[in-house]
Amino acid sequence: MDISYIKNQKLLNWINEIKELCNPNSIYVCDGSQEEYNNITQQLVDSGTFIKLNENKKLNSFYCVSSPDDVARVEDRTFICSKNQIDAGPINNWMEPTEMKILLKGLFKNSMIGRTMYVIPFSMGPIGSKISHIGVQLTDSPYVVANMKIMTRIGKNVLDILDNDFVPCLHSVGFPLTNGTKDVSWPCNKTKYIVHFPEEKSIWSFGSGYGGNALLGKKCFALRIASVMAKENSWLAEHMLIVGITSPEGKKKYIAAAFPSACGKTNLAMLQPTLPGWKVETVGDDIAWMKIGNDGRLYAINPEAGFFGVAPGTSYKTNYNAMKSLEKNSIFTNVALTDDGNIWWEKMTDHIPEHLTDWKKRSWTNDSQEPSSHPNSRFTAPANQCPTIDVNWENPNGVPIDAILFGGRRATVVPLVTEALNWQHGVFLGSSVSSETTAAAVGAVGQLRRDPFAMLPFCGYNMGDYFKHWIEMGKKIKHPPKIYYVNWFRKDKDGNFIWNGYGDNIRVLKWIFERIDEKVEANETPIGKIPHLKDLDISDLNLSKENLEKLFEIDKNAYLKDVESIKEYYKKFGEKLPNELLQEVDELEKKLK
């Protein structure tokens, strides 16, 4: 689409400013049509970036591999450039904004020579919803255009409602085609920066073409910048899934849940319940934006339109609905390619193909030393293809949230489910979310890593202020959701998981459902409320009484050690830590003693 379609003067001025800086060959405005998507994907096939998959295996789907040094989020190159360093907080990298702008302008100067600069107007959330917000991304990457088309709502419809309140997102792969430089199938730059300017609500990303570094609607806008917008305007932008749960009686409730990585988030988002008559439907698998409705309840939307999921480990056994979602119209990055034009990754099937082309374009067999797919390889799939997509997933009013869950991976100490005593206690539980490191993480196995609200890499401002914002929100929501802490990962003395997990997590959700309706009492303990064992539905589960008790065992000495660890962690936030949380941790210590 031609630039003449744009009528917004603020946007035109910005496009002209970036055109002067980056010097692209041409400018193209995305209209969001299927025809445009077909043209972009064909262009990527012609340039060698995409391989079209076998139509009989994966309809209208594409395969690609990135450069081996551009495979994941680059947290050490991710900056929050607030005017004052304290506003970025102890967890984020910071640089003074003017200094950072000088550095970035040097990198972006002439960075798009020989390339097209694409203008992508995109809506995070249903177009026109009061909970949604708009961004415009300028990029020289057609790969980004193709993925943004799946992950967000892009094009003419967005431009038609565009006012001056949009988030400018600038991106370049940093690979100009100067002096006869030959293009490559995955252009990127060794120098990488992902930078957020919270005061001016803008994002600059240089050097990477991959994932959340390049799809700026994802973590950059939907969490880092949106969390700042949410603090300023009394709403919540969270790293949470959203599901609708319907009981056998036809009653429906919605819950949002935050888990650090490797804690079963996607599996819960697309849960297949093992209890007869229960139904779980997906509103979103990764991000929730929540605003207070006229009735004083919290309403949530999924700001995304697609799933950008980690591929390895996803299978019809572990996540049937995710696998059904990516059967067509999808993009696969850094997985393996089968000889008959399909995709494969570790643990996708019990049968391992005899021969594959791995993500580094090498011939791969069972004897190969390395996995066929990168551990952070991805699928991009439209959310509306998910068999369990909720009827209200695009409702502009959002869905009313009845409960919020936090969870981590703990082999000991933390019970299967705990209900917070009140909102403030729930914020304390969220602030102390922790997981034991697995073999996949750097460092010793079993070490505790705190990841408050599962927002550690994604909070766009000082996390002490973020905790305070949550406490203040509790005072503004007339009918706040109940808050719970779950732990599917408790182990027995032999090191085996006690709880089945996966589809059996519906049993915990059933108890939460009944608690919201006050159908069952709870057992009040020093750490919060836990189920009376008779109220947890364990029918047809092979779970001994001893193990059931172990799931809810509260070891006071172990918990007191945990209290010390939380206090130590809180020191990071200095005087920014809300007093309310210090009160909560002191109160817990008193009760345990």
What's the mean pLDDT in 64-88? Answer: 96
pLDDT at 28: 98
% residues pLDDT > 70 (the chain): 98
| 491 Cβ contact list (under 8 Å, min separation 6) | 411, 412, 497, 498
Write the pLDDT tens digit of every residue in 84-126: 999 999 999 999 999 999 999 999 999 999 999 999 999 999 9
- SS3 helix, strand, coil % of the chain, rounded to 5? 30, 25, 45
Q: Mark out the alpha helices in 246-358 (DSSP H runs).
A: 265-269, 320-325
Write the pLDDT tens digit of every residue in 391-422: 999 999 999 999 999 999 999 999 999 999 99
pLDDT at 440: 44
Place of tokens 């056994």: 317
**Beta strand ranges found along 311-452 (DSSP E):** 331-333, 336-338, 343-344, 355-357, 363-365, 378-382, 399-407, 417-419, 434-436, 448-450
Q: Mark out the alpha helices in 371-422 (DSSP H runs).
A: none
What confidence category does residue 441 fall into, taking pLDDT thresholds of 50, 70 and 90?
very low
Nearest to 255 by CA among 532, 263, 247: 247
Q: Do 237-305+391-592 and 307-385 have matching folds?
A: no
pLDDT at 551: 97
Write the pLDDT tens digit of every residue in 483-499: 999 999 999 989 999 99
What confidence category does residue 444 fall into, taking pLDDT thresholds of 50, 70 and 90?
low
pLDDT at 261: 81
Is 179 or 585 the better-scoring residue by pLDDT? Answer: 585
pLDDT at 102: 98
What confidence category does residue 143 fall into, taking pLDDT thresholds of 50, 70 and 90?
very high
What confidence category does residue 331 fall into, taking pLDDT thresholds of 50, 70 and 90?
very high
Domain boundary assignment for the chain: 3-51+73-233, 237-305+391-592, 307-385
Write the pLDDT tens digit of every residue in 533-551: 999 999 999 999 999 999 9
> Mean pLDDT in the chain?
96
- What is the topology classification, in CATH, of domain 307-385? Phosphoenolpyruvate Carboxykinase; domain 2 (2.170.8)
Q: Which two tokens stand for residue 568?
A: 């130590």
pLDDT at 436: 85
Catalytic-labelled residue, pool 81, 188, 220, 263 = 263
Residue 509 has pLDDT above 50, yes or no: yes
Instruction: Tell me which architecture the domain covering 3-51+73-233 has in CATH.
Output: 3-Layer(aba) Sandwich (3.40)
Q: Is 386 a catalytic residue?
A: no
pLDDT at 298: 98
What's the mean pLDDT in 191-219? Answer: 97
* Secondary structure class of 557 (helix, strand, coil): helix
% residues pLDDT > 90 (the chain): 95
Give the type of residue at 293: G
Tally of CA atoms within 13 A in the half-sphere of 107 that contains its CB: 25
Calpha distance 134→10 (Å, rounded): 14
pLDDT at 263: 85
What confidence category does residue 508 fall into, taking pLDDT thresholds of 50, 70 and 90?
very high
- What is the topology classification, in CATH, of domain 237-305+391-592? Phosphoenolpyruvate Carboxykinase; domain 3 (3.90.228)
